[in-house]
Amino acid sequence: MGITQRRDRDRQEMRKLIVDTATQILVEEGIDQVSIRRIADRIEYSPGTIYLYFEDKDDILYEAHLEAFSAFLDAEMTVAAIPDPLERLQALGRVYVNFALSNQRMYDLMFLIPVPRIQNKEKYDWSVSIRTYQVLRTIVEECIAQGRIKPNHPDVVSMQVWATVHGLASLIIRQRIPMVDKELVSRMVDPVLNYAFDALKA
Amino acid sequence: MGITQRRDRDRQEMRKLIVDTATQILVEEGIDQVSIRRIADRIEYSPGTIYLYFEDKDDILYEAHLEAFSAFLDAEMTVAAIPDPLERLQALGRVYVNFALSNQRMYDLMFLIPVPRIQNKEKYDWSVSIRTYQVLRTIVEECIAQGRIKPNHPDVVSMQVWATVHGLASLIIRQRIPMVDKELVSRMVDPVLNYAFDALKA
Amino acid sequence: MGITQRRDRDRQEMRKLIVDTATQILVEEGIDQVSIRRIADRIEYSPGTIYLYFEDKDDILYEAHLEAFSAFLDAEMTVAAIPDPLERLQALGRVYVNFALSNQRMYDLMFLIPVPRIQNKEKYDWSVSIRTYQVLRTIVEECIAQGRIKPNHPDVVSMQVWATVHGLASLIIRQRIPMVDKELVSRMVDPVLNYAFDALKA
Amino acid sequence: MGITQRRDRDRQEMRKLIVDTATQILVEEGIDQVSIRRIADRIEYSPGTIYLYFEDKDDILYEAHLEAFSAFLDAEMTVAAIPDPLERLQALGRVYVNFALSNQRMYDLMFLIPVPRIQNKEKYDWSVSIRTYQVLRTIVEECIAQGRIKPNHPDVVSMQVWATVHGLASLIIRQRIPMVDKELVSRMVDPVLNYAFDALKA
DNA sequence: CATGAATGAGAGTTCATTCAT
DNA sequence: GATGAATGAACTCTCATTCAT
């Protein structure tokens, strides 16, 4: 391995350390608590050092949000083995909501706050996001192909499914459902998903 | 009109001025730009004056968020005249998404950021929120009663509908849909809503 | 009673209300919490009204501090009945320390913070302060006259006694005694006083 | 000298500069005038810089109060050479009062205001305070051992002495002695101390 | 590569006091 | 006599970012 390569590897490791630390703080204390200084403190480097690896704070959050998507992709994969596409679709829905509710601050970063770095269109990389979406879309296509759900353009169906699960999860996370009893809310999740998926059946 | 009444009215007007200004800044520049000082600057009062009318910043945002709900309630009412409950339900869905997309930063305040003042449970008033939800729920009940949609507990159905429209709107507002072409995204709204509501039909 | 007199009486009542309220806040929450606004809030008048009765905040604290002295004078009087002057002197010392420790925030106002209004020499009235001191001095004189304590100029002796009790009380109130165990400190009070008074005996 | 050491030294110098400046303002204008901004202004740094060296304002005052104790300890040491313990004790008393009256605002910080940082018990360091007290206590012990003063528990005697000198000094500093003539007050100091120490003699 | 000192701008909040009504 | 709206000047503290070393 040449010098350049080692440098590259070291650089990547440091970037990862920074991003992971940011994610850690995020998960433990919420996104408001993520600051350059706190990251620097935790990894025992100086704030200035951070800027040798990232252009700005937004960049770090961007990377963290990519990582989160990656973890989410793993979660999505757990349904791959289910043979029946409709069952797989339903399972994906449950996995989605479950991931969101179990990792609320991560989901916050992924879907609830304004996308980091979205302004710089030339720098924003949609590919992870697309891949995530493709998992859903592929299953939907299969369902349609096998006539298991009401037919339509696969993007339309995928969007509908996605909207439902994201909507459900985000209303819960952001505490917008006007039901005093918190437990009642969480007991609604399954029935709502069931109803939603039943409705899709051909 | 007595002195007390005039004072009361003046006070209410000032409160409204503050809240409206906060909303204005919010709409024009996003919620991050709303600060006590900027509000004070705009209305040409000193920062201290704000505190004569509101306990703290959170209180202002809370009020602004109530106002937004009120405007939203008005929007909801526009469907009241539609005789057929299923058509009314679909119309409500469209009104919902339309309101969200036309007033994105307002919707941000209403549904996407953490609720202002939610920590102070004793001070948070769910009533407006509940009323908004009731509009939906009532229509849903009627649809079920007339056998127009697949039957289930009205809260389950309402949540499903709400989740769908909120999910759709919020994914768009937060620019999470991985389709480069923005126009394409907005052209998806109607098909997705149509598909979603068709699926509900009994 | 003529109009002028009633006005005067009303005025005095209002002044008393203000001062008493200030004292109340002081005793309950410490001197830092005494603010014009909080006084006004408690008595349900507007801040402006306070200024009809007092020139400024300092004036209120000044009055409150006079009142405190008056209460203290009452406490001093409880020893008047003791026939033996030396015993009376010792009793006065105990009453002093006891008053200070039982009314710490009041004592704060009376002796630990800079005197309110002391800058305006022409307005500061020493008379209450002098009267308080005279109680001590008179007893001291009697002790000297009867040859019960080591003789000296009565002001010298009085100052020595006063310094001791004030010093003891204020070191305790301000938590300057470097003994970890708080209880130990309070158990020192009596022995120290005993030792001090024993030393004075002729 | 290595880099780390120089950095450490620089850091200490800056801390000292801040503390000294705080003390300066304190001495010149009183403790109320000490604010982060004023310190920053004087040393021509931005307010934020202060926070690179101290956690908060309380920390600065705490440090300043330690420094004051240190200076006071030096003053105490000037009596060490006096061979006779009783004379040494009397000299210490005079040094104490003299220090207090010559450095009134410093003494304010050391003994008259609420102790900085006392709430954070785990962070408050009593050691300087204890050392100061030990100087007194050691002399007292010697006096007792040699039968020069009336015997008692050394802490009781030390507290009595301390209370007397602190009481005297603080009544003068806080202008509580109701004698119009200021000079008269200062002419009382020596007689009172003499009387107090004479009384202690065995 | 890394430092860490420093900045400048800004945040929310509190206060004693004034004054037109 | 009383109001209470308003001020202006403070306050402590936090942050992302820069840059000479």
Please state whether strand E lies within 7 Å of residue A7 at its CB atom: yes
State, as a whole number of angstroms, the distance between the CA of B131 and the C1' of F11.
43
Kindly determine whether residue D156 and residue C115, on different chains, have CB atoms separated by under 8 Å: no
The nucleotide closest to B55 (CA, C1' atoms): E13
For chain C, the three-class secondary structure string (H helix, E strand, C coil) is CCHHHHHHHHHHHHHHHHHHHHHHHHHHHCHHHCCHHHHHHHHCCCHHHHHHHCCCHHHHHHHHHHHHHHHHHHHHHCCCCCCCHHHHHHHHHHHHHHHHHHCHHHHHHHHHCCCCCCCCCCCCCCHHHHHHHHHHHHHHHHHHHCCCECCCCHHHHHHHHHHHHHHHHHHHHCCCCCCCCHHHHHHHHHHHHHHHHHHHEC
Q: Which residue of C has its CA nearest to D157?
A: C192
pLDDT at C18: 95
Which parts of chain A have pLDDT scores under 50? none
Nearest-Cα distance to chain A for B19, in Å, is: 21
The nucleotide closest to A35 (CA, C1' atoms): F15
CB-nearest to C160 from D150, D177, D195 is D195
State, as a whole number of angstroms, the distance between the CA of B3 and the C1' of F4.
13
Tokens linked to C140:
């001291």
Give average pLDDT by consecutive 10-residue segment, chain D, 202 residues.
68 92 92 93 93 93 94 95 97 97 94 84 82 96 96 96 98 88 88 97 88
Nearest-Cα distance to chain A for B2, in Å, is: 39
Residue numbers in A 42-61, CB below 7 Å of strand E: 44-49, 51-52
The nucleotide closest to D51 (CA, C1' atoms): F13
SS3 B126: coil
Nearest-Cα distance to chain A for B41, in Å, is: 26
Q: Which residue of C has its CA nearest to D131?
A: C178
Nucleotides of E under 7 A from a protein CB: 1-20
Residue numbers in D 32-61, CB below 7 Å of strand E: 44-49, 52
Query: In chain C, what residues touch D154 (CB-CB under 8 Å)?
Result: none
Kindly determine whether residue C163 and residue D176, on different chains, have CB atoms separated by under 8 Å: no
Q: What are phi and psi of C121, to 5 degrees?
A: -55, -40
- Taking the mean position of all CA atoms in its chain, how far away is CA A94? 14
DSSP A91-132: HHHHHHHHHHHHTHHHHIIIIISPPTT-S-TTT---HHHHHH
Nearest-Cα distance to chain C for D167, in Å, is: 4
Calculate the dihedral angle through the C-alpha atoms of C43, C48, C49, C55, rounding to the nearest 10 degrees.
110
Residue numbers in B 57-76, CB below 7 Å of strand E: 57-58
Nearest-Cα distance to chain B for A39, in Å, is: 22
pLDDT at C10: 82
Kindly determine whether residue B170 and residue A168, on different chains, have CB atoms separated by under 8 Å: no
Q: What are phi and psi of B121, to 5 degrees?
A: -55, -35
pLDDT at B180: 59
Quick one: which residue's CA is nearest to E21's C1'?
B3
Kindly determine whether residue D163 and residue C165, on different chains, have CB atoms separated by under 8 Å: yes
Kindly determine whether residue A153 and residue B177, on different chains, have CB atoms separated by under 8 Å: no
CB-nearest to D195 from C112, C157, C167 is C157
Query: In chain A, what residues touch B167 (CB-CB under 8 Å)?
Result: 162-168, 170
CB C127, CB C66: distance < 8 Å? no
Q: Which class is A1-54 in CATH?
A: mainly alpha
State, as a whole number of angstroms, the distance between the CA of A84 and the C1' of F16.
51
Q: Which residue of C has its CA nearest to D127?
A: C178
Query: In chain C, what residues touch D159 (CB-CB under 8 Å)?
Result: 168, 177, 188, 192
B-C interface (Cβ pairs under 8 Å ≥ 3): no
> d(Cα D94, Cα C165) in Å, to the nearest integer?
19
Query: In chain B, what residues touch A120 (CB-CB under 8 Å)?
Result: none
Q: Which residue of A has its CA nearest to B130?
A: A178
Please state whether strand E lies within 7 Å of residue D183 at its CB atom: no
- D156-160 own/partner pairs: CB under 8 Å, 24+ apart: D156/C188, D156/C191, D156/C192, D156/C195, D157/C195, D157/D200, D158/D133, D159/C168, D159/C177, D159/C188, D159/C192, D160/C164, D160/C192, D160/C195, D160/C196, D160/C199, D160/D200
Nearest-Cα distance to chain A for B46, in Å, is: 28
Per CATH, domain A65-198 is 1.10.260.40: no
Q: Which residue of B has its CA nearest to A168?
A: B163
pLDDT at D65: 94
- A·B CB contacts under 8 A: 122
Nearest-Cα distance to chain D for C163, in Å, is: 4
Query: In chain B, what residues touch A164 (CB-CB under 8 Å)?
Result: 160, 163-164, 167, 196
Q: Which residue of A has its CA nearest to B104?
A: A114
Query: In chain C, what residues touch D198 (CB-CB under 8 Å)?
Result: 150
For B130-161, the three-class secondary structure string (H helix, E strand, C coil) is HHHHHHHHHHHHHHHHCCCECCCCHHHHHHHH
Nearest-Cα distance to chain B for A80, in Å, is: 22
pLDDT digits (tens, 9 = 90+) for D15-38: 999 999 999 999 999 899 999 999
Kindly determine whether residue A159 and residue B153, on different chains, have CB atoms separated by under 8 Å: no
pLDDT at D119: 72
Q: What are phi and psi of C149, to 5 degrees?
A: -130, 165
Q: Which residue of D has its CA nearest to C150?
A: D199
> d(Cα A171, Cα C132) in Å, to the nearest integer?
69
CB-nearest to D163 from C153, C168, C175 is C168
Kindly determine whether residue D171 and residue C111, on different chains, have CB atoms separated by under 8 Å: yes
Q: Give the best-scoring range by mean pLDDT among B2-6, B59-63, B176-180.
A: B59-63
Tokens linked to A125:
């990389």
pLDDT at D191: 97
State, as a whole number of angstroms, the distance between the CA of B38 and the C1' of E12.
12
Kindly determine whether residue B177 and residue A159, on different chains, have CB atoms separated by under 8 Å: yes
User: No. of H helices and E strands in chain B?
Assistant: 9, 0
Which parts of chain C have pLDDT scores under 70? 1-3, 120-122, 180
Query: In chain B, what residues touch A200 (CB-CB under 8 Å)?
Result: 199
pLDDT at D123: 76
pLDDT at B1: 46
Query: In chain A, what residues touch B171 (CB-CB under 8 Å)?
Result: 111, 162-163, 166
Q: Which of C175, C169, C174, C178 is nearest to C196 (CA)?
A: C169
Query: In chain D, what residues touch C170 (CB-CB under 8 Å)?
Result: 112, 166-167, 170
Q: Where are the domains of chain A?
A: 1-54, 65-198
SS3 B201: strand
CB-nearest to B170 from A129, A170, A199 is A170
Residue B2 has pLDDT above 90, yes or no: no
Query: Is pLDDT larger for residue B118 or for residue D39?
Result: D39
> d(Cα B47, Cα A199) in Å, to the nearest integer?
54
